[in-house]
């Protein structure tokens, strides 16, 4: 048996059983309780026939039961698939059938959607309700209530999993219209977790924030680094992120010492969070990742909250974090974005030019390639896409060594830091989410009255990019923006729905007859 993610919890529960492991609003669990409850979930899953390597879904608004479910699934030697609690039914259904989720943990609040999923998916057989509600509107599946789970033994299950087994699958936007599942092993994840634990010098006395949703890979730091340190994890209530003054007050109230999120939430706090009225001396580390932090807002943040150390982390879901940059004082006149920094100590990255040449000189642009134990196994059930980006290390001739093409263009600066320059394809970032333009276009094209569509990413200071769709309709068509927005919401998550819809008789074309996005983007920026 290898060393696995759940051992971080088991070890902390052994060392400090009564220490608070997780807090959400008025509820909390000690490490012992979290360990025992997740054992009970594991027993319930095994009793339902869940086998090593089987995918088990989690469809719960972020809360303590989501965390219990995560560990319960891992302890059953299974693979957890965190579903976006706000995703449209068709997208949830796609993911459930794509990785054949037979068993799913949910809450009674999700019952209406679960009824639809029970009807429309092929693989679902068992559902476990994770809240204590007595009255449950039963689904046409095998229904297990939380009271059933609580009758299970609290003792750990013997297991034989290896660290090369999958731990979780995170779905991200896919260019051809459907999301793709990134397969992460225990070793992949622990490579990052062990590095982050040491590099961020976290301690058992730390209070960790958990801001990112569990279907977003920023959550891996929060969940497992906190568990490894034996610290306390504070789940940020979803509605708090909407109200920056409340969020900053929450950080003060709970004495959060390690904060990790996308930059846009920190920018919102800089602009609207009344930071000058808070005492945030509790913060030791402020860590951000997922998108470029606009330099002026980062400088403001570091002025308003001067005590902590600030870190910019970088890495795609396929590798988790691979480079980091401890942010020094930013000069008043600097507008250029800060670097993404240097490679994490136990990983390896390098830059390859368009012609396949290994770049080691500063100032020359190329694609960032990652290798080592951080590199994911590939995309679930999609050999073609996997082969495109999970490649044989081009610098190694003598044996097979897997590497991952990030698709990110970078160059080195004089200090040996990587600078992010952009993408080689049509993927964009918005609020830290990666979005394939093609997935949005595919969704809009599937409307019978749409003749042509071009989706544009309009650069934005606060959220990296705003999404605009320019559309030419078929003759006699009468649909409007509101209708198309509703149509998109049937298949796309909220953050992928265009903010602006513009209608044109025809889309502008280049001399070769291609849709001219460059000219449309120019118009959009005026």
Name the residues that contact other proteins, by CB under 8 A: 86, 88, 238-239, 241-246, 265, 268, 272-274, 431, 462, 481-482, 485-486, 488-489, 494-495, 497, 499
Instruction: Report the nearest approach of other proteins to the CB of residue 151 (Å).
Output: 33
Identify which of 349, 344, 330 has the alpha carbon closest to the alpha carbon of residue 411: 349
Integer-rounded Cα Rg, in Å, for the chain is: 23
Cα–Cα distance, 361 to 358 (Å, whole number) = 9
Residue 308: count of CB within 10 angstroms of its CB = 19
Nearest-angstrom CA–CA distance, 104 and 69: 10
* CB closer to other proteins, 245 vs 394: 245
Token pair of 11 as six digits: 């070890």
Q: Strand ranges (DSSP E) for 239-373?
A: 258-261, 285-288, 309-314, 323-326, 342-343, 348-352, 358-359, 366-371
Note whether 294 and 245 are within 8 A (CB). no
Q: Taken in order 463, 465, 467, 468, is the CA torsion positive or negative?
A: positive
> Looking at beta carbons only, is 117 or 141 nearer to other proteins?
117
Structure-token pair, residue 465: 């990019």
Classify strands 366-371 and 166-172 as parallel, antiparallel or unpaired. unpaired
Minimum distance between the CB of residue 57 and other proteins, rounded to whole angstroms? 20
- The DSSP output letter for 509 is B
* Residues 6 or more apart in contact with residue 276 via CB below 8 angstroms: 304
* Nearest-approach distance from CB 361 to other proteins, in angstroms: 41
Q: How far is CA 462 from the centre of its chain?
A: 19
**Which is nearer to other proteins, 37 or 492 (by Cβ)?**
492
Q: Token pair of 224, please?
A: 């497992």
* Closer of 242 and 505 to other proteins (Cβ): 242
Shortest Å, Cβ 208 to other proteins: 20
Helix (H, G, I), strand (E, B) or coil at 526: coil
Closest distance to other proteins from the beta carbon of 79 (Å): 28
Nearest approach in angstroms of CB 240 to other proteins is 9
Minimum distance from residue 304 beta carbon to other proteins (Å): 13
Quick one: which H or E segment has residue 227?
Answer: helix 226-229
Q: Given the complex with other proteins, which of 88 and 308 has the nearer CB atom?
A: 88
Nearer to other proteins, 23 or 109 (CB): 109
Q: Least separation, in Å, of the C-beta of 368 and other proteins?
A: 29
Q: Which residues pair with 22 in a beta bridge?
A: 29, 233
Give the strands of the sheet with 258-261, arranged side by side: 27-30, 20-24, 232-235, 207-210, 258-261, 285-288, 309-314, 323-326, 342-343
CB of 396 to other proteins, least distance (A): 43
Q: Between residues 182 and 470, which has the closer beta carbon with respect to other proteins?
A: 470
| Nearer of residues 32 and 485 to other proteins, judged by Cβ | 485
170 within 8 A of 217, measured Cβ to Cβ: yes
In terms of CB distance, is 176 or 274 closer to other proteins?
274
C-beta of 26: minimal distance to other proteins in Å?
A: 17
Q: Which is nearer to other proteins, 86 or 176 (CB)?
A: 86
**Tokens 């696995």 — which residue?**
4
């Amino acid at each position: 048996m290898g060393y696995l993610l759940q051992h971080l919890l088991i070890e902390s529960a052994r060392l400090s059983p009564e220490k608070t492991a997780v807090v959400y609003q008025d509820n909390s669990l000690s490490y012992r309780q979290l360990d025992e409850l997740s054992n009970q979930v594991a027993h319930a899953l095994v009793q339902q026939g869940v086998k090593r390597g089987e995918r088990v879904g989690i469809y719960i608004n972020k809360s303590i039961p989501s965390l219990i479910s995560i560990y319960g699934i891992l302890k059953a030697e299974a693979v957890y698939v965190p579903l976006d609690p706000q995703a449209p039914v068709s997208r949830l259904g796609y993911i459930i059938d794509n990785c054949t989720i037979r068993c799913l943990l949910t809450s009674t609040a999700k019952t209406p959607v679960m009824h639809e999923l029970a009807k429309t998916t092929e693989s679902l057989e068992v559902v476990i309700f994770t809240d204590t509600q007595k009255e449950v509107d039963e689904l046409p599946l095998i229904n297990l209530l939380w009271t059933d789970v609580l009758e299970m033994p609290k003792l750990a299950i013997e297991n034989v999993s290896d660290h090369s087994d999958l731990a979780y699958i995170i779905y991200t936007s896919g260019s051809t219209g459907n999301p793709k599942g990134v397969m992460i092993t225990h070793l992949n994840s622990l490579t990052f977790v062990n590095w982050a634990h040491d590099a961020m010098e976290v301690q058992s006395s730390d209070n960790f924030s958990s801001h990112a949703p569990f279907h977003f890979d920023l959550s891996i730091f929060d969940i497992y680094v906190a568990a490894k340190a034996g610290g306390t994890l504070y789940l940020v209530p979803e509605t708090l992120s909407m109200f920056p003054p409340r969020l900053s007050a929450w950080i003060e109230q709970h004495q959060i010492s390690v904060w990790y999120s996308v930059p846009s939430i920190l920018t919102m706090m800089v602009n609207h969070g009344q930071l000058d009225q808070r005492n945030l001396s509790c913060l030791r580390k402020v860590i951000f990742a997922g998108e470029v932090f606009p330099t002026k807002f980062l400088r403001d943040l570091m002025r308003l909250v001067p005590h902590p150390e600030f870190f910019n982390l970088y890495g795609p879901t396929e590798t988790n974090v691979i480079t980091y940059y401890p942010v020094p004082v930013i000069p008043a006149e600097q507008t250029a974005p800060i670097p993404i920094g240097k490679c994490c100590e136990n990983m390896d990255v390098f830059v390859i030019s368009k012609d396949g040449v290994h770049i080691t000189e500063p100032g020359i642009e190329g694609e960032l390639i990652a290798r080592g134990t951080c590199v994911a196994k590939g995309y679930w059930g999609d050999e073609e896409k996997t082969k495109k980006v999970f490649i044989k290390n081009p610098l190694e001739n003598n044996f097979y060594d897997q590497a991952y093409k990030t698709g990110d263009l970078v160059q080195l600066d004089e200090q040996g830091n990587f600078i992010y320059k952009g993408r080689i394809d049509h993927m964009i970032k918005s609020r830290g989410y990666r979005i394939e333009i093609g997935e949005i276009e595919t969704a809009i094209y599937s409307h019978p009255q749409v003749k042509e569509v071009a989706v544009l990413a309009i650069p934005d200071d606060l959220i990296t990019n705003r999404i605009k769709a320019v559309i030419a309709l078929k003759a006699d068509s009468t649909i409007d923006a509101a209708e198309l927005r509703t149509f998109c919401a049937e298949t796309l998550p909220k953050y992928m729905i265009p903010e602006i819809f513009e209608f044109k008789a025809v889309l502008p074309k280049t001399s070769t007859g291609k849709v001219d996005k460059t000219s449309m983007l120019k118009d959009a920026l005026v």
